[in-house]
Amino acid sequence: MPIRAATPEDSLAIAAIYDAAVLAGTASFEIDPPGPEEMARRRQAIMDAGYPFLVMEEDGLVVGYAYATAFRPRVAYKNTVENSVYVDETMHGRGFGKALLEALITACEARDFRQMVAVIGDSGNAGSIALHRACGFAPIGTLPATGFKLGRWIDTVLMQRALGAGSGTLPSR
């Protein structure tokens, strides 16, 4: 399945995938779906800032996407990224998330980022936790009851993995 950089034409499909996750799931702590215009704005801002935003296609249709953003805004964090991966709910369990996350890791290593942090909504999100573990992430903590959505308190799970040389050498930027 082809994985490529997202384009403005992908905004409708990206929004449809994300909006469904916002409405029915706990991976995102957003409550109201942002829609295609806002997702197009976010995609452009991410790419303009030098971070990768990827989509995966099957039979010419976008079935998932992944992107990296700044982990935190302070300059000392500039070598660390936070990742996001979303796959169309009808396509779960087919390895698309793993392929997207592996491609995102490669794209971030090519940009010389050194650490990737996963901020996973819901300690019960076994699929996302297993995906990150399969891609080399280790659990680093759980923030209990940090969100309230769908009538219940939701934890935030933090996982992390080194990229490239990690902390073994000084950063180039």
Domains detected in the chain: 3-162 (3.40.630.30)
Specify whether the CB–CB gap between 104 and 64 falls below 8 A.
no
Please tell me the predicted confidence (pLDDT) of residue 170: 92
Cα separation, 70 vs 127, in Å, equals: 24
Q: In 3-state terms, what secondary structure has residue 57?
A: strand
Please tell me the predicted confidence (pLDDT) of residue 93: 87
pLDDT value at 72 more than 80:
yes
Cα separation, 48 vs 51, in Å, equals: 7
Which whole number is the average pLDDT over 67-86?
97
Q: What is the mean pLDDT of the chain?
A: 96
**Is 69 exposed, middle or buried (CB count within 10 Å of its CB: 0-12, 13-18, 19+)?**
middle
| Residue 23 pLDDT level (bands cut at 50, 70, 90) | very high
Residue 155 has φ and ψ, to the nearest 5°, of: -80, 165
pTM exceeds 0.75: yes
